[in-house]
Amino acid sequence: MLISLIKMDIDVASETIEETVIQIISQTLDVSEITLESSIQNTMEWDSLNHLRILNVLETEFNCTMKLEEISEVQSVKDWIDLISKYNEEL
């Protein structure tokens, strides 16, 4: 099965990491109401395939490669923001 690559038109420089991550997840899942509390458990559209799509877009937009151990622990929007913030600090 091929995972389609999703390229978002997001200006990362003009938005905070939080705003950008929420926008990416919202667009990837095609869900308008995404909050910090949105998670795999409470967002029906957030399945394993969409989890990988979110990962792909975040790595592309933030120009990073995340570790498998870290990715497997991500369960919510807040987790994604924390992880991206960590990588953003390392740049």
Instruction: Provide mean pLDDT across the span 1-28.
Output: 71
Q: What is the pLDDT of residue 91?
A: 58
**Least confidently predicted of 20-24, 38-42, 48-52, 86-90:** 86-90
Instruction: Provide mean pLDDT across the span 60-82.
Output: 96
Instruction: Provide mean pLDDT across the span 61-88.
Output: 95
Question: Taking 60 as the threshold, does the pLDDT of residue 5 lie above it?
Answer: no
Cβ-Cβ contacts under 8 Å for 49 (sequence gap 6 or more):
3
Distance CA 50, CA 78 (A): 16
Q: What is the pTM of this model?
A: 0.82
